[in-house]
Amino acid sequence: MQSLSAWMLALVGFAIGAAAGFAVRHAKLCSFGAIEDALMGGDSRRLRIFGLALGIAIVGTQALVIGGLLDPAQTTYTPAAIPIVAIIIGSVMFGVGMALVGTCGFGSLVRLGAGDLRSLIVLIVLGATAYATLRGVFANFRIVVLEGLSIAMPDDIRSDLASLSARTLGYDVRALIAAIAGGGLCLLAFSHPRLRRSPRLLSAGVALGLLTVAGWIATSWIGDEFSGPMRPQSLTFVSTVGKAFYAALLSTPGFADFGVGSVFGVIAGAFLAAWRSDELQWEAFDDDREMRRHLGGAALMGIGGILAGGCTIGQGITAGSMLSLSWPFAVGGMMIGARLGIATLIDTTPRQLLSRSWASLLGKTHPSK
């Protein structure tokens, strides 16, 4: 039987997820949309909003660490060895899948809350492939082969920027790093004239940052040490989706989990925002081609998200708030994957994309042709 504290964590996770889902749906914010705007349209406003969320999360999370209220060593984002190969492969896979679906796992939950039944299918596939990679048929290959190719940190220090800087310089500069990184990201958002006139976007960014910190606080303070070891965690939406479906099918006590609670919370919050603005609408696939694209993208996100250690929220904001050294590799890989996915959609198929790239290469090598 699950302890009362576990169910309390699930309820807190639901509340935090609901607030995140409401804020993002209300602002019509999307991580893939932000990347697409920046890469294809030259519009960085929505990307700056995620930067604002990260900046606030960095300042708040590092304040918890400095105050002794959160131990980075207990989280999954600062291991003593970085599985760099798994992160790079997984993040690119996730980015491609995100482009094929048109949003990430978090965005799919938000869309489902507004009545998009395509997202229900996406989340089922994402959750199944994520759980298979986390604990199922793909888990052994992930652990033994991919995660075995890792970079060990010197002297077994934690793989975060503050710990590495302290070892290199000989003194702790965590507060300085947090102030520069967090403050700089916030300034980058508020310095944009058009963003300053977009209170919905700004409020969504602030909410995401504060809710990430709230997740760390809740999972650090609410817990029963006698019921087993508990890792502090915050918002992430790949493994938690898999755990949610596993709990629904096979293990009712599995609902007593912060991450699982946050999954259902996002759906509820998005539903409330869509209902409040009279935007609830049932949507389904237009044809079999669209369905195949979504199924393939969902599988790539499920497998890739586990390999990468999180999604655009889990790695992009939650791991970033920990100053994790995996953050630039994961976020960079997702952006590269998203760009490849967009190119694949434009060129219809990966085969055509490769053909055109090869033809372009030959054209540069042999100008006479």
In this structure, which amino acid lies at residue 253?
P
Cα 170 versus chain centre, distance:
33
Angstrom distance (rounded) from CA 91 to CA 326: 11
Q: Helix or strand or coil: residue 181? A: helix
Count Cβ atoms below 10 Å from residue 225 Cβ, excluding itself.
Answer: 8
Residue type present at position 264: F
Tokens of 199: 């209170």
- Between CA 189 and CA 48 the distance in angstroms is 5
pLDDT at 355: 65
Report yes or no: 306 and 146 within 8 Å, Cβ to Cβ.
no
Q: How far apart are CA 42 and CA 40, in angstroms?
A: 6
What stretch of H or E contains 283? none
Digit-coded pLDDT (tens) for 250-294: 888 889 899 999 999 999 999 999 999 999 999 999 999 999 999
Q: Please tell me the predicted confidence (pLDDT) of residue 366.
A: 43
> Which segments within 72-220 are labelled E, that is strand?
81-82, 151-152
Q: Maximum CA pair distance of the chain? A: 75
The answer to whether 21 and 14 are in contact (CB under 8 A) is: no
pLDDT at residue number 353: 57
Q: Which portions of the chain are predicted below pLDDT 50? A: 1, 365-369
- Map tokens 């700089």 to a residue: 184
pLDDT value at position 252? 86
Alpha-carbon dihedral sign for residues 111, 117, 122, 124:
positive
Residue pair 60/213 in contact (Cβ under 8 Å)? The answer is: yes
The stretches of the chain forming alpha helices (DSSP H) are 4-27, 31-40, 45-66, 84-101, 105-113, 117-134, 139-141, 161-169, 174-190, 193-196, 199-221, 239-249, 258-276, 288-308, 320-321, 327-346, 350-365
Distance CA 209, CA 51 (A): 9
Q: Please state, in angstroms and rounded to a whole number, the distance separating the CA atoms of residues 212 and 244.
A: 20
Q: pTM score > 0.85 for this model?
A: yes
Distance CA 51, CA 104 (A): 17
Per-state percent for the chain, helix, strand, coil, to nearest 5: 75, 0, 25
Rounded distance, CA 83 to CA 148, Å? 7
Please give the Cα distance from 212 to 319 (Å, whole number).
10
Closest CA to 33 of 274, 193, 181, 204: 204
Angle at 314 between CA 309 and CA 319, to 5 degrees: 80
